[in-house]
Structure 1
Amino acid sequence: MGQDRGLPVLLVDLDTVAPHERVDAFQHALDQSVPNDVVHEDPAAGIRARLEGWRIGALDLVDARGTGFQVRRTEKHLRRLRERPIVSVTLQTRGTGRVELAGRQQLLGPDDISVLHEVSARTYGWSGTGSSQALMIDAGRLGLPVETVVEASFRLRASPLYDLTLGHLRDLWRDPARLEAGAGAPALGDATTELVRALLVSAMYDTGEPVVRAALDDTLTTRVLAYLRRHLTEPDLTPERIAVAHCISRRQLYTVLRRAGISLEQWLITERLEVARTMLASSAHQDRTIAAVAARCGFTSASHFSRRFQAAYGLTPREWRRHAARATSLQGS
């Protein structure tokens, strides 16, 4: 599903379809991947749905929004699934989602992660107007039995990686087009797959089990980077603090990042400069001084910040702010 940055693939938009054809159009759109029975909550009142997609490495991402519906997959449908099934990892971004699986029901809110294996009978949907964000992982790449995925899906919050995974998924959805176009997209897709695998394994087994320790080790780089992003603008984000937070030595921290091709100090500066660049271009922060923006982004020295900013972007922070303000003014005229 590749495309230029900022242009997601439009999978379906029922606003472009005649009202009397929308039921069939929605069914057809879903049947392109796997068969389902679709029941709309109130077809007489009008059906709306819009699905957009991106691809980050080996992951497909789908943003779905629309009126209430249920998608039912029965044992009959499972006989017609594709050869390479997927595991979906979904966030409910609006409304309350509902999943019925293995005789149990889950209600999904904004802080819930839903994991569903394609090779399992279930019902999914929401009432009223809702939206969700789902990423699709090749089940073969995940490498877990169907039974493990199904059982773990009810125990996700028992995993020590739950909050980390939730934050990571939200980060993916902040700007999927930028991530899709980035050179690191394949590595990001692989790291996300490993993180989801570790989430499921650690939800199923005690953290002392060898299989869990192995999964945690495999996702250490992803967990460290997620931690860095959460605390990016804090001036006391030192190597020692990062290492302690992950129960490793400072030497191990540098080794892990070096294997991923990352220089810790340079990574922090680059990411902080990008945050500062966005703040300086925003009208919401126009009253902040350059020094205040620098401090807000984790720089302890305004002069050091200005030198780094100019080296990175070819303009001083003040020049960039004026340039961004002029560009905004021209767009508004």
Structure 2
Amino acid sequence: MTVCAIEITTTAPFTIAADGAYAARLAGEGQARYPERWTLGGPEPYAVPLPLAQPEEADSEVLALADGRVLIHRRVADRHAFALLYPSGAAAGPRTGELQLGAVSAEEGVRVRLLPPSPDGHGAYALAVGPAESTVWQVAGAAGGPRRVAVLPGRCSGGVWLDRVGRLLSLDRELDGRTKAVAVDLERGGEVSPLLQIAEDSDDRLLLAAPDSGLLLIRSDAPGEPRLGWGVLGSARPVRFPECLRIADAHPFAVQPGQALMPETCGVALRVGEAELALWRPADRCVFRLAAPVGWLGTGLWTPQGRLHLPYATREVPCGIVGIGQPAPPPPPVRLDPPPAPPLRPVPLQQAPLG
């Protein structure tokens, strides 16, 4: 299940495990923050707090794993420390168990953050971005503590998984004044290959990917301004920039899984501003806009059946899920003129026209 957590200004990031069974966030306010695990796989969602002896710092990060444990990343003095948290079954003592995984040195000018949950559900990775190079660390799922798996020249951002096994990772790399999405093979020593090359002088970023269908959600300034577009991984289809996606402050955060070889039918959910949603499919020529639920945590997940689940938390309902179905598109108008002729040859993604 392809899900990407989106950070919004009003709450800490909420991350959903690769299989959608668990989620995690940093709950609480001010100086009283603590990790919280949500169970989403049962008939009703419920939350389990995972506090320790001391409250967490506001800049700590959490990530839900498929086995129900929660990875936490803390800045501790001159280190970036990683640990696994889980509910303790002990009759007495702390309610939270903690397994230390090791640490990465905190270097001046280097920012370290967790990458989205690995598709295998068990591994976890962090990206360390310095002035001239970026390093991908495996921080969970590897014996012996954090392990360096890739080093890339340039400053990297983003982070989108391209497969179901956690081998191919897309990063948006800034190098020589341009930002291009590249694919990093974590099983071949971090081998890097180009992924998006829409125009020679454009900035091309990958926002989301659906491994089942190959659908890619892209942001590029190749059309003359930053625009949302879509393409298909490993296909001769061109990148397209629909007019209906020309929405200010729109960020895609979830793509419908299970649509094997049918990218046009995948539902896509976008966050618009802080309190509005947009639902779209590549096959549609319009988006459906609706208000987000009160207390929405900024992300969500699609089911293979086409239903969008949105987590929210309010004082009255501290752990809730709202389900939304994909609206049916209106019938297309009847064309009186013949459709344009198809191109004479397929166009690779990296050479795609801008229309």
What TM-score results when the alignment is normalised by the length of structure 2? 0.28
Structure showing the higher strand proportion among its residues: 2
Structure showing the higher helix proportion among its residues: 1
Mark the structure with the bigger radius of gyration. Answer: 1
